[in-house]
Structure 1
Amino acid sequence: MEAGQLVEFIDSQKIFCAVVLESKGLRLRLLNENNREVKLSAARLSHRSKVRLDPAQGRDKLVTQLKAIAAKRREMSRQVDIPTLWEVLQDTGEWIDLPTMTAFCFPEQPNGDHEAAVIRAFFNDRRYFKFTPEQFLPHPARKVEQIKAQREAQAHRERLVEQGGAWLQQVLKDQKGSPPAAADEIVTILKGYCLHEKESPDQETARAILKRAGAHAPSAIFTFMVKIGRWHPDENLDLLRHGLGAPLPPAVEQHAAALCAHPPAIETQRRDLRELSLFTIDGPTTLDFDDALSIEPMGDHHRVGIHIIDVGHYVAKADPIDQEAAGRASSIYMPDRRIAMLPECLALEACSLKAGQERPAISTLVTLNGRGEVLDYDIVPSRIRVTRNLTFAAVDERLAADPALGALLAMARGYRDQRLDNGAMTIRLPEINLWLNDDAQPEIARIDGESPSHLLVSEMMILANDLAARFLTQRQLPAIFRAQGEPRERLFNREEGTLFQHWMQRKQLSRFSLANSPEPHSGLGLSAYVTATSPIRKFYDLVTQRQLRAALGLEAPYATEEIDFIIAALAEPMGLVGRIQFQRQRYWLLKYLEKRIGAKYEAVVLNKIRDSYAILLPDLLIECLLSGAEGVNLKPEDRIQVTIQHVHARNDVLTVFLS
């Protein structure tokens, strides 16, 4: 290369015309048409012309000449008909050198300008040929179509970014205007990014739309979606993110409708327990009653019946309803919504123990003495009729005047004492009952989780599950057994302990595990445990109830391999259900507090975290960090008063200051 030689190079997807000012081996110092000096390797040149410019004429004149040459070559490049060239040359399958291609394009005395124009033309339209500065190869027809589709997709994406960015900016600024033609597609892209961010297939397009709108956080998309009416201000994004709460598939709906219209007849071989006085005990808003109790005096003892709706009588293994229930894993209970595991006509009607309705059940009939000790038991398929649907509050009111309920409570307490003697760890914390009023505003009631009626029901269900585990173990049937190791530390004995100790004890419990064979459950003080008392609401319980049905001759049992598969398959959805319920409860607690800025609450110090303290608000059972406590010396279990300073439920923010 020599000084003054006219060359071209590619930079930032553009071709520049330049003159060589200095050449040192393969390194060149150039002056380009924009009056900029650049240094680069000779290998980066896209064209070398035989034309020479006089470097001595001065920089300004050189730049003027370069601009004119570049403009001339750009104009000449527009004369190159690349699609027609491809039509003629596509079948050759061979490389075509630059002089030959230039002759095809400019048959009359082509020169360096023509060559440079050819390179520019092929650089600007790369659909039809693969090329280097020296040669060209026609793409196969399939490749041309593929490139064309990619170009069209890119152009479409650019239109979406332009339209979406302008629309998003307009909506966020509350400016009037009509949605663009591609509104639905833009909404789908933004919605996907808001829900899944980096896992969204359109994340780059969504981020480009945000950037075009001058918005940088995915939270802007939520505001946008609310303003255009696609989402509610209290939209549950977790449900959308995981595809929960959608209508049942048509096949499931049809199967459920047929089943509820013509339920299977109750088998005659079931034990007839319709003469017993059965009652349910639930919350005031419960609609799906799956368990009932009965009690009969037997001299010095009592026979207690724990009756669970036989869901397996209605839902067969692997039928459409069963497959959908397995996918859902559990009903989901939230302050603003309930998502049933089973279709509504089953959960709320056919499989609900409503007063006065005959139902098939799996009944545990257990003889207990006054101390709650099990003297004998049997598990039978039964035909039952509930007499009364009672609430916890109603039972608490009747306990003193109802000898049967009083006896049942005494036996429940005796059974708990036995479990405590065996090392059970009972966590006694109040319950926060949260619901939405007629104005869709959250209301709260703090309920004593250890009220007599709650204790009675809780212990009877634990007893039924305890006996089911014994029953299945004795018959060597696999089931979904729950086990739990010893807690990392015991903070109190038996049922003693403060609210602080019970709250912190929960953090010390070992995680429970599931297996197909029995292992000890330390938290309950039992040698084996299953759950089979909520088959309407939990698939685990339905599976275990089916194993009881198999032991009673009502159906074939699950094999051990099938139990293992179910345990593995349900681990993720069950964890998801727990997180969704927890997050939604917390969201509405924070919504409740958004209306109480400046309110004062009692708090319990839990522990120090760096320069702050983790605290618990007992009235709401919600944890947060304490702000404004610099220089204050607090210790665990101290009682303090705090003021609600700032709350943002959507962003999960709760700021409180020491009062």
Structure 2
Amino acid sequence: MVMESGNQRLRLLTEHNREVKIAAQRLSHRGKTRLEQNSGRNRMVEWLRELSIKRNAIAGEVQVEELWEILNHEQAWIDLKTMTGLCFPEDADDDHESGVIRALFKSRRHFKFKPDRFLPHTEAQVAAILAMDKKAARQERLVAAGAEWIRSVQAGSTVEMTQCHRELAEIFQSYYLAEKESPHFHTARAIMKKAGLTSPEAIFSHLVAVGVWTPDENVDLMRYKIPTDFSPSVLELAQSVPAADAFIGSGRVDLTHLNTITIDGQSTLDFDDALSFETRDDHFLVGIHISDVAQYIKKGDLLDREARSRGSSIYMPDNRISMAPPLLAEHRLSLKKDHIRPAISTMVKIGLSGDIISYDIFPSIIRVDQQLSYFEANISAEEGQAIAALYDIAIRFRETRLSQGAIQITLPEINVWLDDSGMPVVNRVNRESPGRMLIAEMMILSNWLSARFLAENKTPAIFRSQPKPKDRILKNGTGTLFQNWMQRKLLNRFVLRPGPEHHCGLGLDAYVTATSPIRKYFDLVTQRQLRAVLGLERAYTEKEIEEIIGQLAQPMADVGRIQFRRNRYWLLKHLEGRIGEKEEAIVLQRRRNAYAILLKAYMIECPLPQSSGIDLKPEDLVQVTIQHVNARNNTLSVFMG
């Protein structure tokens, strides 16, 4: 009831005995019935309630759908008086007008509404509105079911997975992986609110509790859409790849008489590089033999497209995902002991003083005689002539690179793997041990010579260069752990181009990577360019090389991110069992409210809160105590020990 009006504003008394102020244009119906205010407020409120009950009852008599079926063909506005007359042909009054408005306002599926008139929706509009209503109703049921499922699981109840639960699990997974980018974001958030959850980690815990995910689920594989297996058609094509002995007598140079070795980690299954060594009268002959993957995986075929989409094999403490099907990566492409394999061989003639005299690159057939681990190679370096000689050549080649401005960053490598019980084991690896050092330098030598070979033959490839660092700390390859760590932060990112440019970090005038074609698609592409110069296939054009570099930029970034994050996850899982233990750390730099420090035993950075009365400087050694670790949340906190 209008209590007061003025300046297009109304003061109203409602049936709930409340006074409200609204603009006059917001009224949906104005009746002619009047009631004097001097009748008393309680009486007016009682009368308004009785009137509301009466008008709602009248609204219940309006058959909205039937009315629409009669009127929707007209597609014309119908005024309130006419509409009321259609519904109540006899003695229609204010109450009937209000009842019609209430009925059509409550069910807005069939008519568009204005204060004094109505427009029937078209059949298509009604269908769309009904579909939206149905979707909204289903959404409400999903939210209610999801909240109830979460509460039941939290209470310890065993709930059998229904089709509804499976749909909810997909919604939860999508939300956890993509959050605001998920098409189910609003549904998941509504369920969380109704269930009283405040963090996405609660959704992760629920998915673990119902068996959809494991406690150590690698969500990054799903987040970045990394395939973990191969399609039947890809596996079928891999089965059809011919055996290696088919290449005997095919015009390749037979090097099966050479004593050829591989040196890799103990868990390696895909051997793509091998070495040979011969002593001649006045020089050494070093052979670097790379599995000729391009002989098996043809440019543009299904295996090639699959490898290109993946970009690289992925190595993690708890899983290995090959770029090529395991039948190829671990068997027919792999340089396994006592098996003949086609290869691209680089034979390097080296003087007795360590200088490179000449080199030759050609297709070959090899047979690996020894499959050594790094540990076995280290022992052989002390006892065996070939390994010791290769190590000496590697040292001399590195010295040459350093004299040409190379930046040799020497940092220990932290290896993480899972034991038979699924627990993480951490091992600190010396990357400067004879076995690892000679392999690293031999592969750099091979890649440099491949780059020179391609450049001399004016063949585009995926050349890798690196600008000068932002600053130079290390001199002549020496330096403390602190200096090596900080120097790495000052390096500029490498650049990929179709043509050769200087690689400052390696101290070389040109560089490609061609020594891991089983594991990396860039290396496979470069191997094909080498084969093209050798007359074995058609070369990629410069434009095609640029397209490959562009297409693989994101997949390779994802692979690097996944490997880093998974290694860090399992390292933090290991540290979760070390809470309360003391560790030695190096102060890296001072920040606003904390120091950045490096835990030496694990080569991992974390913040150290500033302590009153203690002033630390970069490179100071401190002892800290591990306070809190959460691998899932990627958190590590320590305090001064």
Same fold (TM over 0.5): yes
1:59-78 aligned at under 5 Å gives the runs 59-78=41-60
**Aligned position for 1:215:** 197
Q: C-alpha separation between the residues in 1 aligned to 2:242 and 2:31?
A: 86
The aligned counterpart of 1:281 is: 263
Asked if residue 372 in structure 1 is aligned to residue 354 in structure 2, the reply is: yes
Could you tell me whether the CA contact under 8 Å between 1:372 and 1:413 is conserved in 2?
no
Letter in 2 for 1:400: E
Question: Are 1:114 and 2:96 matched, yes or no?
Answer: yes
Assess if the C-alpha contact under 8 Å between 1:280 and 1:292 holds in 2: yes
Give unpaired runs (5+ residues) of structure 1: 1-18
The alpha carbon displacement at 1:173 in A equals 3.6
Q: 1:263 to 1:30 in 2, by over 3 A?
A: farther
Q: 1:383 to 1:572 in 2, by over 3 A?
A: same
What is the distance in 2 between the residues matched to 1:301 and 1:263? 32
2:245/2:340 contact within 8 Å kept: no
Q: Work out whether 1:31 is the aligned partner of 2:43.
A: no
Could you tell me how far apart the structure 1 residues matched to 2:291 and 2:303 are? 17
Percent of residue pairs bearing the same amino acid type: 51
Deviation at 1:152, TM superposition (A): 0.4
User: 1:580, 1:574 → 2: CA distance?
Assistant: 10
Is 2:243–2:332's contact at 8 Å kept on the other side of the alignment? Answer: no
Alignment-derived partner of residue 284 in structure 2: 302
Equivalent residue for 1:12? none
Residue identity in the other structure for 1:577:
V
Aligned to 2:133: 151
The answer to whether the Cα contact below 8 Å between 2:228 and 2:321 also exists between their aligned partners in 1 is no
Q: Give the CA deviation at 1:629.
A: 2.7
Query: Does 1:576 find its partner at 2:548?
Result: no
Do the aligned residues in 2 keep the contact of 1:281 with 1:457 (CA within 8 Å)?
Answer: yes
Residues 648, 654 of structure 1: 8 Å contact kept = yes
The answer for the alignment partner of 1:557 in structure 2 is 539
Shift of 1:455: 0.9
Aligned twin of 1:609: 591
Which shows bigger deviation, 358-367 or 106-115?
106-115
Partner of 2:175: 193
Counterpart CA distance in 2 for 1:513 and 1:177 is: 54
Distance across 1 between alignment mates of 2:232 and 2:311:
19
Instruction: Report the Cα distance in structure 2 between the residues aligned to 1:463 and 1:531, rounded to whole angstroms.
Output: 10
Query: Residue 95 of structure 1 corresponds to which residue in structure 2?
Result: 77
**Separation (CA, whole Å) in 2 of partners of 1:398 and 1:265:** 32
**Given the superposition, is the C-alpha separation of residues 267 and 535 from structure 1 closer, same or farther in structure 2, using an over 3 Å criterion?**
farther
SS in structure 1 at match of 2:590: strand
The 1:201–1:371 alpha-carbon spacing in structure 2 relative to 1, beyond 3 Å, is farther
Contact 1:334–1:581 (8 Å) recurs in 2: yes
Asked if 1:257 corresponds to 2:239, the answer is yes
Partner Cα distance (1:591, 1:630) in 2: 31
Kept in 2, the 8 Å contact 1:362–1:381? The answer is yes
How far apart are 1:178 and its partner, in Å? 4.8
Aligned to 2:419: 437
- Residue 309 of structure 2: SS of its match in structure 1? helix
Kindly tell me: are residues 370 and 601 of structure 1, through their superposed partners in 2, closer, same or farther at Cα, counting changes over 3 Å? farther
Q: How has the CA–CA distance of structure 1 residues 635 and 462 changed in structure 2, closer, same or farther, with 3 Å as cutoff?
A: same
Give the direction of change, closer, same or farther, for the CA distance of 1:598–1:572 in structure 2 (3 Å limit).
same
> Following TM superposition, by how much is the alpha carbon of 1:181 offset from its aligned partner in structure 2, in angstroms?
5.5
Whole-Å separation in 2 of the counterparts to 1:431 and 1:260:
38
**Which structure 2 residues correspond to residues 484-633 of structure 1 after superposition, within 5 A?**
484-627=466-609, 629-633=611-615
Point out the more displaced range, 285-294 or 85-94. 85-94
1:41 aligned to which of 5, 13, 23: 23
Deviations 1:521-557 (A, max 9, x none): 0000001100000011111111111111111111111
In structure 2, what is the Cα distance between the partners aligned to 1:400 and 1:184?
Answer: 60
Pairwise CA distance, 1:27: 1.0
Structure 2 SS opposite 1:624: strand
Amino acid at match of 1:575: A
Instruction: Give the deviation of 1:631 after TM superposition.
Output: 2.8
Question: Secondary structure at 1:520's aligned position in 2?
Answer: coil
Letter paired with 1:60 = N
Q: Distance in 2 between matches of 1:53 and 1:246?
A: 77
Q: Structure 1: how far apart are the matches of 2:245 and 2:212?
A: 40
SS of residue matched to 1:43:
helix
Aligned-pair CA distance for 1:119: 1.0
Moved more, 244-253 or 401-410: 244-253
Q: Is the 8 A contact 2:244 2:340 kept in 1?
A: no
Aligned to 2:431: 449
For residues 324-381 of structure 1, give each alpha carbon's deviation from its aligned partner in whole angstroms, at most 9, with x where no partner exists.
Answer: 1111111111101111111110100010000011111111111112343221111101
- Cα distance, 1:657 vs structure 2: 1.2
Contact 1:480–1:517 under 8 Å retained in 2: yes
C-alpha distance in 1 between matches for 2:369 and 2:449: 25
Q: How far apart are 1:496 and its partner, in Å?
A: 1.0
1:177: Cα distance to partner? 4.6
In structure 2, how many angstroms separate the alpha carbons of the residues matched to 1:479 and 1:100? 81
Q: Which amino acid aligns with 1:529?
A: Y
3-state SS of 2:586 partner: strand
Moved more, 553-562 or 86-95: 86-95
Structure 2 equivalent of residue 312 of structure 1: 294
Q: Is 1:235 aligned to residue 243 of structure 2?
A: no
Contact 1:429 1:499 in 2 (8 A): yes
Residue 648 of structure 1: aligned partner: 630
- Letter in structure 2 aligned against 1:238: D
Change in 2 beyond 3 A, CA 1:462/1:66: same
Whole-Å Cα distance in 1 between the matches of residues 428 and 41 of structure 2?
85
Separation in structure 2 between the aligned mates of residue 264 and residue 434 of structure 1, nearest angstrom: 40
Q: Aligned letter for 1:592?
A: H
1:403 aligned partner: 385
Is the CA contact (8 Å cut-off) linking 2:244 and 2:332 kept in structure 1?
no
The code of the aligned residue for 2:153 comes to: V
Partners of 1:526 and 1:286 in 2: CA distance: 29
Q: Look up the SS of the partner of 2:478 in the other structure.
A: coil
- Cα distance, 1:408 vs structure 2: 1.2
Letter in 2 for 1:131: F
Check the 8 A contact 2:247/2:342 in 1, yes or no.
no
For residue 108 of structure 2, what is the aligned residue in structure 1? Answer: 126
Give the alignment's Cα RMSD to 1 decimal: 1.4
Moved more, 333-342 or 88-97: 88-97
Q: 1:432·1:445 contact (CA, 8 Å) conserved in 2?
A: yes
8 A contact 1:264–1:313 mirrored in 2: no
Return the alpha-carbon distance in structure 2 between the equivalents of residues 130 and 270 of structure 1: 82
Shift of residue 115, structure 1, vs aligned partner: 1.1
Aligned-residue offset at 1:585: 0.8
2:63 maps to 1:81: yes
For 1:437, give the aligned amino acid: D
Q: 1:416 to 1:140 in 2, by over 3 A?
A: same
Contact 1:167 1:179 in 2 (8 A): no
Structure 1 267/522 Cα, relative in aligned 2: closer, same or farther at 3 Å?
Answer: farther
Unaligned runs of 5+ in 2: none
CA distance in 1, matches of 2:475, 2:320: 37
Q: CA deviation at 1:266?
A: 5.5
Of stretches 254-263 and 368-377 in structure 1, the one that deviates more from structure 2 is: 254-263
Q: In structure 2, what is the Cα distance between the partners aligned to 1:442 and 1:480?
A: 37
The amino acid that maps onto 1:43 is Q
Any idea what SS the aligned residue of 2:124 has? helix
1:143 to partner: Cα distance: 1.3
Confirm or deny: 8 A CA contact 2:595 2:610 kept in the other structure.
no
Q: TM (normalized to structure 2)?
A: 0.98
Quick check: 32-41 or 625-634, which moved more?
Answer: 625-634
